Structure 1
Amino acid sequence: MTAEETADRTREVVLVTGASSGIGRASAVQFAERGAALVLVARSRESLEQAAAECRAAGAREVQVCPADVLDGAAVQAAVDRAVTSHGRLDVVVHSATVMAYGSIEDLQPEVFERVVDTAIKGTFHVFRAVLPQFRAQQRGSLVVVSSLLASVTTPTMGAYNTGKWGQLGLIRTVQQELRDLPDVHVSAVAPGGTSTPIYRQAATVLGNTGHPPPPVYTPERVARAVVARVADPRRLKQSGFANPLIIAGFRLLPPVYDALVGPLLKVFGYARDSVPPTTGNVFAPVPEKEATRGPFVGI
């Protein structure tokens, strides 16, 4: 790496949504290791302060916390404005905020379904609306959205999350087309498979148990490396998981086989062996005590 490239990294101004937990938190730490100035966004101030401490210890030049829900467009705009006011520009945005729910379409509460879908689609819309005018004014910038394998396939009992992620990817692809006149403004999507984050234990569920990332399970740090890499190497959609292309091929090319197998396999590999009453999890409010970079699952 040249001295100029090193200097560019240490001057990076990076905003991360969903920075209190999982892939967002892991991504923030990896940008901190590059010496970036960070603005961390999530709903829980308590968890954000913990993430900020990790980022400072990792080498961040500066860290600010902005508690906000991505469903609040004004709050998202305020976080972007704070980054620009503090540093004069915004170089990178990582949008990782998401919530999840388990339950059939017939059993899931309508308000839970709507909130999961809205967080994925409206939340991403609010991020785009706040960030893209700044990038357009700068004529440069990188925005990386953490998508999912479930933006390309579906699974039973995850209809809310499937719907949200499919809609989010449609929004991403539309924006990528609309930005073709700005060659130095990039919007990328990274789609991980099962990842060892706390989201499975934080999800809403009416199944009587919590979720489990299906194998192969990846660490959030591994996915975060794919997120950070998109700054230098933008992609329309980068699958982060060696099994993802095979699963997508089965879904598209052999739908009867896929449909016959996905339910039984999910019951064996996608649900935890626990027992919990119906819960809305963190869908409507954060659960700080369950937020961390990693969940209790072994990842590679």
Structure 2
Amino acid sequence: MTDLQNAVVVLTGASSGIGRAAALAFARRGARLVLAARRRDALDEVAQACRRAGAEVIVVPTDVTDPGAVQALADAAERDFGRIDVWINNAGTGVFGPYQDAPLDLHRLTVAVNLLGGMHGAYAALPVFLRQGHGTLITNISLGGWAPAPFAAAYTASKFGLRGFTAALRQELRRHRRIHVCSVFPAMVDTPGLDHGANVSGKRIDAGPFVYAPEDVAETFVHVARHPHDEVAVGWPARAAQAAYALAPGPTEHLMGIAIHRALDRARPAPRTHGALRVPLDDERRTSGGWRDRHGVPSARRLSAGLGVALGAGALLLAATAAVRARSR
């Protein structure tokens, strides 16, 4: 699919962060949107913004841990728009901190949202795709599907499982040439998800120097919907983590453990919170988490591009200097 005009796009986790940015990105391309999240009021706000961009939108409050609710989401999309062209499993959450320090139900909810939520979405979308003979399933996984994240054990388990699930589905459907199963692996993204997840560590989470904007992931969703690819990374840290863990899993695991322990040793205290795992937070609906604004840094995509230009200019300068010296001899 190269043209998204009038394409029917179902998007979970649409109320804030990457989902909100993605809804607006597809709206600007003329897609018809089916937006899902737990909070109707938050969905209505996003829907209004998308309608101002000219899109047709319906909202379907959905808890992705409930397979019946996810099936109702698919039914609503077919009832109102007649088909589903793109289904995006974007809802996600996590628990940060020592595994044994969080209530077990928070770990179970993490797996239920991230892994089972994606499985429920696929279970609802694939029969529609098979009936109509086409469709693209996009699942937002994160670099946590490629390399283990210490102090986020349940999150890592869910994301490793989600990557394996989508890879298996892709091969099941390989003979259906117009049905695509795609996975997106963002690096660290500046979203409200850092506040919506649970944090039982007692330490403030530091997103690090390379933080991508939600819009960077949203534009990747758009690109994958137009030009389906099996697995797509957003940001070079995600691709680097994939390569490192594939080539040297042991050293990569140990280095990540050392880095996270040192970061926690230096981190400032923070209150322990269970975030929005059990109940949605009644907070401001935002696309950005505000981390870049607080620290005065641009999106890592812009920062990386600037570093690339600087490195390229430096290389040209060195080459020119060497050429001048060679001629002077």
**AA aligned opposite 2:114:** A
Give yes or no for the alignment of 1:86 onto 2:80.
Answer: yes
Give yes or no for the alignment of 1:9 onto 2:4.
Answer: yes
- The 5 Å alignment of 1:13-52 reads 13-52=8-47
Aligned mate of 2:59, from 26, 41, 65: 65
1:23-58 deviation digits (Å, cap 9, x = unpaired): 111111110001111110001112111111221122
> Which structure dedicates a bigger proportion of its chain to helix?
2
The whole-number CA distance in structure 1 between the counterparts of 2:45 and 2:176 is: 37
Q: Structure 2 length as normaliser, TM-score?
A: 0.84
1:145-177 deviation digits (Å, cap 9, x = unpaired): 111101000121011111111111111111111
Give yes or no for the alignment of 1:112 onto 2:106.
Answer: yes
Q: Which residue of 2 aligns with 1:140?
A: 134
Q: Tell me which stretches of 4 or more aligned residues in structure 1 moved more than 6 Å.
A: none
Q: Which residue of 2 aligns with 1:54?
A: 49
1:100-142 deviation digits (Å, cap 9, x = unpaired): 1112222222111111011111111111111100000000011
Identity of aligned residues (%): 35
What SS does the corresponding residue of 1:9 show, helix, strand or coil? Answer: coil
Q: Structure 1 length as normaliser, TM-score?
A: 0.91
Q: Which protein is bigger by CA-based radius of gyration? A: 2
Q: CA distance change for structure 1 residues 272 and 111 in 2, over 3 Å: closer, same or farther?
A: farther
The whole-number CA distance in structure 2 between the counterparts of 1:271 and 1:100 is: 21
1:296 Cα deviation after fit: 1.1
The whole-number CA distance in structure 2 between the counterparts of 1:275 and 1:54 is: 37
The whole-number CA distance in structure 1 between the counterparts of 2:159 and 2:231 is: 13
Answer with 268-277 or 108-117: which moved more.
Answer: 268-277
Q: CA distance change for structure 1 residues 272 and 82 in 2, over 3 Å: closer, same or farther?
A: farther
Aligned mate of 1:123, from 117, 123, 134: 117
Answer with 249-258 or 89-98: which moved more.
Answer: 249-258
Give yes or no for the alignment of 1:222 onto 2:212.
Answer: no
Whether the aligned pair in 1 keeps the contact of 2:36 and 2:59 (CA below 8 Å) is yes
Q: Which residue of 2 aligns with 1:164?
A: 158
Whether the aligned pair in 2 keeps the contact of 1:210 and 1:272 (CA below 8 Å) is no
Structure 2 unmatched ranges of 5 or more: 293-298, 301-329
RMSD, matched Cα: 2.1
Q: CA distance change for structure 1 residues 38 and 76 in 2, over 3 Å: closer, same or farther?
A: same
**AA aligned opposite 2:280:** P
Q: Which residue of 2 aligns with 1:277?
A: 271
The whole-number CA distance in structure 1 between the counterparts of 2:204 and 2:197 is: 7
